[in-house]
Amino acid sequence: MPRRLAVVPERCSGCRTCEVVCSMARFGVDNPKKSCVRVVTLYPHPVIRMPVVCRQCGEPKCADGCPTNAISRPNGVVKIDPELCVACLKCVDNCPFGAMMAHEDVETPFNCNLCGGQPQCARVCPKQAILFVPTRILGQDHRLATVLNYAHMKEVEFVEEGEKKRLRYAEVERSRDEN
Amino acid sequence: MKTKGGYFHRILDVDLTTGKAMARPFDDEFALRYVGGRGFGARSVADNLAAHGGRVNPLGPENILVVAPGPLTGTYLPAAGKCSFITMSPATGIYADSSMGGSFCVELRQAGYDALVLRGAAPKLSYLWIDEERVQVVPCPELAGKRCLEAEGAIKEAVGDAAVKVISIGPAGENRVLIACITGDWGRQSGRTGTGAVMGSKNLKAIVVRGGKDLPVADVPKMREIGDRGYATLRAHPLFPLWQEQGLMSVIDYANSMGFLPTRNFRDGHFDEAERMDGFVMKSRYKIGDGACFGCPMCCSNICLVREGKYAGTVVEGPEYETAAMLGPDVGVSDFAAILRSNQLCDELGIDTISAGSLIAAVIEGYETGLLSLDDVDGRPLRWGDADAVHELIAKIARREGIGNTLADGSPGVIKRFPQLKPLLLQVKGLEQSAYDCRCAISMALAYGTSDIGAHHARAWTIAKELEMGRDWSLEKKADLVIYHQTIRPLFDMLGVCRLPWIELGFDERYYAEMFEAVTGVPTKLDDLLARSRAIYDLTRRIAVSHGVSRKDDYPPDRTFDHPVETGPLAGHVLSRADYDRILDIYYAKRGWSPDGIPPAE
């Protein structure tokens, strides 16, 4: 079953354990700067901690303009062929998500390879902010948020035992909105 | 023994007066003897003292400030994201260190350094920019007076990289406020003992670092295996979800129900309004996200926002227990939003929350009991629970205005100006006591009394164990407990990791020896590491002794003996001096120190 990595920024604590395990799995070293996933932190306005990782795009923008056609997507995983790559780093610029990485010690740019189907970042994330899920359930969180936001905007009025009452969904909506 | 990892074998030594930087090598013998972090710092501070005839002015250019992560910092072990700041303290006049979590420590190691030694003083306000081999002292007069977060943002912009790691001081540090802290990573602090004032005295507004080197690890597969086990153990702990949810704020409820929550300058141990400002209130009304130090699954930092009311717009990473207790019940404040504002003010102006709360509480009590006149407190009456007055005092401390100028010199400064306040100041060796009342637990009193930096809980936190299991233990056993804490907890500061997984979630201490072995490639037992930690404790004690510290300075605050807890489950509790003298005798004997508290020569 094809799966993808999904990120839930609201849950991320910014601990960067994902970066440590990624660099170990990918390069056999402890070096967060060689990780294919990077946690970006903004503070205090707004407060956001968000892991950025390759989305394995169906039409990878990183491949656009690769002068040697080194980037392909076998089995749904975007891959750079090290034999063809000339390390011009154009792909690093071209990825709209900033998910193509480079490091001076590594010969070619690098991106997430899903650890051969068992992504270590998703395995260790202590907050379940990185998930490895079937493609078809992606967007579920946002669908839920859409429904809750709608419910909140409406503010239900009702009558109970002759008394007029109002029901609001403020608590639920708030956590989505302000994180 | 030869190490195969754990160290770059390089200490970056920067003379801020000349702007010259040099990477000093060290050998394996030094590495293994002093381990790292606080160990490296204590050795450097002792050597620097020796080079200056045994004395330095803590605020003079001759003092050094050592910033030291440890060999495990940044490794795959839960909560391996801390570094220590080691110096001669301007607040206490003796050896001091304070630790900070976050990511700065990992970045410093990735720049290829095991520690950073700062000496001299920059000719004008500057920041230090460490980009691996390229080290520069950059003048930044435009940052004068900027709050920590503002400064951090401005520097990231100036160097053109939002991912660099920054630590900075606020106006308090610039003004040499002796309780000034250093803030890093948007809200982590090296809080205690005035490390921020030392940075200020060196005209150093901030340190910026960027690095991309592999961390030296001898056996990565072994490290992965140990880490996997370690993280799984923590995740399986029944209290793990509560930690993620509340962090240290869960201690408010616990401390209050046990009866040792500092209330109105430690007169009481029970706060009637605690349920208005505990972890549940924070979670349900103020918390908007989790924050964690590097590699830590416990994410004990609570990012809070005040949405409405007088303090709307306050955003702060925190508070944790100490801050909430000292700026809450200890000054009589129960409005959680007001506590958040106090927390934010302290963080951004760059003041230690524990010392600030403690000193403000003493002044409120002083005014309330008539020991201080209206004139003494700048014409504004002070009352318990007056949050606006607390905020005003915090700002005045940072700016050294009015009575704030006196509080800015810490307990010793207050005693000098207002000798009548001495019994109201909860301090040991000039450092204000942390937020645990020790009248109910003599081991905690001993911990405060004998802590090498002054009355701080980080060296030994034995109160829970004594109250839950050891009320009837012999004084021998209680002294053993304190010494064990004072040995293992500083070890965490030497390794560059956090103590919380161990103390709060029962993380087995053997993990640290196992990981040290995997990282350095040197066969190591926990006892080996503990022996090195103990040697450092003796070293820091020797520094204190050379500055006149002896038995007379190893007593907890007077209130511990002469003011019984007023209400709550521990009402009436007070310690006897005779008992304390006995446990102190036992403690010295067990440490091999003389009855006057003097350790043998090195």
pLDDT at residue B152, rounded to an integer: 97
Q: Which of chain A's residues have a Cβ under 8 Å away from the Cβ of B149?
A: 43-44
Give the residue among B178, B183, B188 at the shortest CA–CA distance from B168.
B183
Please say if the pLDDT value at position A160 is more than 90: no
How near does any CA of chain A get to the CA of B245, in Å?
Answer: 11
Burial status of residue B465 (CB atoms within 10 A of its CB: 0-12, 13-18, 19 or more): middle
Looking at the structure, tell me whether residues B451 and B419 fall in a common domain.
no
Contact B222, B390 (CB under 8 A): no
In chain A, what is the straight-line distance between the N-terminal and C-terminal CA atoms, in Å?
Answer: 32
pLDDT at residue A172, rounded to an integer: 44
pLDDT at residue A150, rounded to an integer: 65
Looking at the structure, tell me whether residues B93 and B205 fall in a common domain.
yes
Residue B597, amino acid = G
Tokens 């998930």 correspond to A131
Q: Which residues of chain B have pLDDT under 70?
A: none
A4: left (phi over 0), alpha (psi -120 to 50) or beta: beta
Number of separate domains in chain B: 3
Tokens 């040995």 correspond to B487
Q: What is the CATH number of the domain that holds B253?
A: 1.10.569.10
Inter-helix orientation angle B510-520/B526-546, to 10°: 100
Is the CB of residue B71 less than 8 Å away from at least one CB of chain A?
no
Looking at the structure, tell me whether residues B132 and B196 fall in a common domain.
yes
Domain assignment present for residue B598? The answer is no
Looking at the structure, tell me whether residues B146 and B202 fall in a common domain.
yes
Domain assignment present for residue B164? The answer is yes
How near does any CA of chain B get to the CA of A25, in Å?
Answer: 9
Cβ–Cβ gap B299/A127 under 8 Å: yes
- Tell me which residue in A28, A32, A47 faces B288 most closely, judged by beta carbons: A47
B512 Cβ contact list (under 8 Å, min separation 6): B72, B77, B491, B492, B495, B497, B526, B529
How near does any CA of chain B get to the CA of A15, in Å?
Answer: 5
Cβ–Cβ gap B186/A44 under 8 Å: yes
Cβ–Cβ gap A20/B74 under 8 Å: yes
Looking at the structure, tell me whether residues B419 and B446 fall in a common domain.
no
Looking at the structure, tell me whether residues B312 and B199 fall in a common domain.
no
Q: For the residues A131-159, what does the mean pLDDT come to?
A: 76
Contact B380, B404 (CB under 8 A): no
Q: Which of chain A's residues have a Cβ under 8 Å away from the Cβ of B76?
A: 17, 20-21, 24, 30
pLDDT at residue A170, rounded to an integer: 46
Please say if the pLDDT value at position A63 is more than 70: yes
pLDDT at residue A168, rounded to an integer: 57
Q: Nearest residue of A to residue B78 by CA position?
A: A17
Contact A6, A56 (CB under 8 A): no
Please say if the pLDDT value at position A158 is more than 80: no
Q: Where are the domains of chain A?
A: 3-135, 141-178
R_g (Cα) of chain A, nearest Å: 21
Domain assignment present for residue B421? The answer is yes
Looking at the structure, tell me whether residues B105 and B62 fall in a common domain.
yes
Q: Which domain holds residue B450?
A: 442-505+525-591
Torsion angle of the four alpha carbons B594, B600, B601, B602, in this order, in degrees rounded to the nearest 10 = -150
Tell me which architecture the domain covering A3-135 has in CATH: 2-Layer Sandwich (3.30)
pLDDT at residue A65, rounded to an integer: 87
Distance CA(B236)–CA(A52), nearest Å, equals 27
pLDDT at residue A167, rounded to an integer: 61
pLDDT at residue B512, rounded to an integer: 98
Please confirm whether the linkage preceding B412 is cis (ω < 30° from 0): no
Is the CB of residue A164 less than 8 Å away from at least one CB of chain B?
no
- Tell me which residue in A24, A43, A175 faces B186 most closely, judged by beta carbons: A43
Tokens 């100490």 correspond to B322
What does the pLDDT look like over B298-351, one tens digit per residue? 999 999 999 999 999 999 998 999 999 999 999 999 999 999 999 999 999 999
Q: What is the CATH number of the domain that holds B129?
A: 3.60.9.10
pLDDT at residue A1, rounded to an integer: 58
The two structure tokens encoding residue B469 = 């299991």
Test the A interface: residue of B110, B147, B185, B288 with most A CBs within 10 Å: B288
Cβ–Cβ gap B110/A32 under 8 Å: yes
Q: For the residues A20-40, what does the mean pLDDT come to?
A: 98
Please confirm whether the linkage preceding A46 is cis (ω < 30° from 0): yes
Is the CB of residue B214 less than 8 Å away from at least one CB of chain A?
yes
Interfacial A residues in 43-82 facing B (CB < 8 Å): 43-45, 47, 49
Looking at the structure, tell me whether residues B413 and B477 fall in a common domain.
no
Greatest Cα-to-Cα distance within chain A, rounded to the nearest angstrom: 78
Is the CB of residue A34 less than 8 Å away from at least one CB of chain B?
yes
Looking at the structure, tell me whether residues B291 and B335 fall in a common domain.
yes
Looking at the structure, tell me whether residues B403 and B551 fall in a common domain.
no
Residue A45 confidence class, pLDDT cut points 50, 70, 90 = confident
Looking at the structure, tell me whether residues B324 and B471 fall in a common domain.
no
Please say if the pLDDT value at position A175 is more than 50: no
Give the residue among B7, B41, B14 at the shortest CA–CA distance from B134.
B14
Sign of CA dihedral B466, B470, B476, B482: negative
Give the residue among B140, B105, B147 at the shortest CA–CA distance from B122.
B140
